A and B are shown apart, each in its own frame.
Chain A
């Protein structure tokens, strides 16, 4: 079985395609690294600290995205042992958690803007950066959710197992990466909040 999958993998050039995903993650990482470096250069050079206590909603969304990584991991595991019903179940769960994360991030921004009066347009651009971090991350999340739906759709269409596994892996790499990036951004904000 494994040997067969390995062979099909080679025939469809799936391994190089997966490699493409890893490189894409590098580019995406550089993007966020640039934004956070921009923050450091800005706040260091201008002496504008953030001076905002991050809303709790960001903590909740962090918990949600960690949970979603867990469910996606379980879906992967199910797909490897050919338990497709279980795979779908966990994919749906991941999807729901993804949406919840999205909503929670929006809520956090709502709290920032309306409850705490920390606006996107602010003379202190350190504060604008908070929105840019979360917003740009959400753009990535939209892409990840689409990728997830594509995998889900594939699993209903009974595509060959190699392709199913391939899609699962692609989705997992991206999804876990986005989780890690969000944790990075959140910790970065916590460290710089005063």
Chain B
């Protein structure tokens, strides 16, 4: 099929588009409705960071409630009005805070903010394309995301407050507008926002897959792609297959909410009144939700994995350990993530045999995850490590992935999960593996590719400060939660004072809250660094990290179409770092083997007999010369 052929977009192509894009672009078409993937990446990043800050503030608000359930803070009433009467956050608003915090972090920050930024930035730049397959769809993808963000936030303005059934919006709570304040208009806005969000994700994902498959430059076969591209590509595939299922679940939910059907509703008594709904199954929603929901958690972590692999290889000055194993484990995770969703539903009364099946698939998915972990550690092993801020965050990502992944294995055991489900143990698990590992991967990416995005360098000292405070803070916040969970403390409870068995954890809660406040303050260092570096940062050189991948062959000044002349051809894989015999400790992908005779290995010519012949000739002359001497 010709559609899969590698394209060689010459300069002709560029000129052809030129009349639309060259220098005299209006402000609107350059910064707002831009169709350039680099600008769209920045839009995603800045929107994502903004949403992250908002969600972080929400978390500090509910942490204050958890630490001081009896105290009153008149300031809260001033700030939040009816949501915090008498200086205390109301119980309903507490649930809204938890819900919107989770929703924003999972979807708006770690899905759109992470994939949106780095897929947009890196896919065309690292595979060697002038732009995405459909730049227009790409622009729509951003604006749908923006609209979804605005609608999600606008739910703070409605009388009864935002959705409050948890980020998983299980019916019947979410299906009955009268069930609690947060099930009213807030829930409606949540659903509208998520439908737009899914549309945005699908448009983005379709573009990413199509660009990777169709628009790679000459020589860039699949096995020469950097791991970032593999990860982003497989992430996009996950999204394409999983998000439509969420839409199906949401559509049925909307019918239940607004049209009186009973897909999910049965035997409901509301305020003492028997409701007319009969025959529905709330478990059906959980199946549809988690069929997306579990792949979703890998949508969140895989880009972080790809970014960390790349950053760690560059800064260890070593080839990534087990490149093929890395790719196959990503593929393994992609496939397996579709058959483990039942591990979120062990206690829904599912057939124990089925629970056993899901348990086995869940434990199997730990294998590719472990393969990746070992490979990262082996990459670091005896590397010539450069501790840039990006590198620190990448290493931090591995640390959190290990400590969070291990508890996943506990939770994956159906028998243990009976005790642990819906406790703080789960909260600890996913905040380490997702809330911390994925965020650290994202931050590693921001520090590493900031010079590519903005043409400036970020401040290293502030980067170190940011890293250490966040790293320590995250462990202090989430580690104690394991013990609360083991003691049976359930998640999403408003005031620990109300339960005798939970009262002894109040001091721990206070401790966690202060650790969280410290970690939040550390983000100010990041925000200051990020914003000020855009304007007054040191000017970046073309290849500041001495990296091999294609994006560093483009000029520092962005231009539409990425490369001024022809797109460079690729000759080698991206991980030729510290190759014995080479002049420098890195060889960019664009350097042909003919220019690096002294460092070539027989292995480089596996499917190139002519090259191998040349190499042998070169080596035998070398030997002959030696003997003469």
Contacts and interface: CB of A to CB of B under 8 A. Distances in A.
A33 B338 CA distance: 14
Contacts of A136: 251
Interface in A75-131: 120-125, 128
Interface of B: 2-3, 7, 9, 12-13, 16, 133-134, 137, 202, 205-207, 209-211, 213-215, 240-245, 247-249, 251-252, 255, 259-263, 277-281, 283-284, 287-288, 291
A27 B213 CA distance: 17
B284 A34 contact: no
Contacts of B288: 34, 38
A28 B263 CA distance: 21
Given A11-B13, A120-B261, A121-B261, A19 B213 contact: yes
A188 to B, nearest CB: 14
B262 A27 contact: no
Interface string A1-37: 0000010001101011111100110111011011101
A120 B259 contact: yes
B283 A16 contact: no
A41 B247 CA distance: 17
B279 A13 contact: no
Given A30-B244, A38-B263, 8 more contacts: A11-B12, A18-B3, A38-B288, A121-B260, A121-B262, A125-B280, A125-B281, A128-B262
30 contacts: A11-B12, A13-B133, A15-B2, A16-B3, A16-B133, A16-B134, A17-B133, A18-B3, A19-B213, A20-B133, A20-B207, A23-B205, A27-B244, A28-B244, A30-B241, A30-B245, A34-B247, A37-B287, A41-B284, A45-B283, A120-B259, A120-B261, A121-B260, A122-B262, A123-B279, A125-B261, A125-B281, A128-B262, A128-B263, A132-B252
A32 to B, nearest CB: 8
Given A6-B2, A20-B134, A48 B279 contact: yes
Interface of A: 6, 10-11, 13, 15-20, 23-24, 26-28, 30-31, 33-35, 37-38, 41-42, 45-46, 48, 120-125, 128, 132, 136
A27 B206 contact: yes
A13 B13 CA distance: 10
Main secondary structure of the interface of B (DSSP, over half): helix
Main secondary structure of the interface of A (DSSP, over half): helix
B507 to A, nearest CB: 45
Which of A11, A27, A31, A45 lies at the interface centre, i.e. has the most chain B CB atoms within 10 A of its CB? A27
Contacts of B252: 38, 132
A53 to B, nearest CB: 21
B565 to A, nearest CB: 17
A27 B244 CA distance: 6
A16 B281 contact: no
A34 B279 contact: no
A26 B2 contact: no
A38 B9 CA distance: 45
A123 B262 contact: yes
Contacts of B281: 41-42, 45-46, 125
Given A11-B16, A38-B248, A38-B284, A16 B210 contact: yes
Contacts of A16: 3, 133-134, 210-211, 214-215
Given A18-B3, A31-B244, A46-B281, A128 B261 contact: yes
Nearest to A30: B244
Contacts of B7: 10, 13, 15
A124 B279 contact: yes
A23 B209 contact: yes
Nearest to A31: B244
Nearest to A129: B263
A46 B287 CA distance: 14
A20 B137 contact: yes
A123 B262 CA distance: 6
A23 B211 CA distance: 12
A31 B261 contact: no
Which of B247, B260, B261 lies at the interface centre, i.e. has the most chain A CB atoms within 10 A of its CB? B261
A22 B290 CA distance: 26
A90 to B, nearest CB: 25
A132 B242 CA distance: 20
Nearest to B264: A125
A20 B278 contact: no
B274 to A, nearest CB: 13
Contact of A42 (B133, B206, B255, B263): B263
Contacts of A30: 240-242, 244-245
A181 to B, nearest CB: 13
Nearest to B7: A10
- Please give me the 4 A-B residue pairs with the lowest Cβ-Cβ distance, nearest first: A16-B133, A34-B248, A123-B278, A31-B244
Contacts of B283: 41, 45
Contacts of A15: 2-3, 7, 214
A128 B215 CA distance: 44
B133 A19 contact: yes
A19 B3 contact: yes
Contact of A17 (B9, B12, B134, B291): B134
B12 A34 contact: no
Contacts of A132: 251-252, 255
Which of B210, B215, B291 lies at the interface centre, i.e. has the most chain A CB atoms within 10 A of its CB? B210
Contacts of A24: 202, 206
B133 A27 contact: no
Contacts of B247: 31, 34
Contacts of A42: 263, 281, 284
B286 to A, nearest CB: 10
A18 B215 CA distance: 13
Contacts of B205: 23
Contacts of B2: 6, 15
A123 B291 CA distance: 25
B12 to A, nearest CB: 7
Given A27-B202, A30-B245, A120-B259, A19 B214 contact: yes
Contacts of B3: 15-16, 18-19
B248 A31 contact: yes
A186 to B, nearest CB: 18
A123 B278 CA distance: 5
A6 B3 CA distance: 10
A20 B206 contact: yes
Nearest to A127: B261
A35 B206 contact: no
B259 A121 contact: yes
Contacts of B291: 34
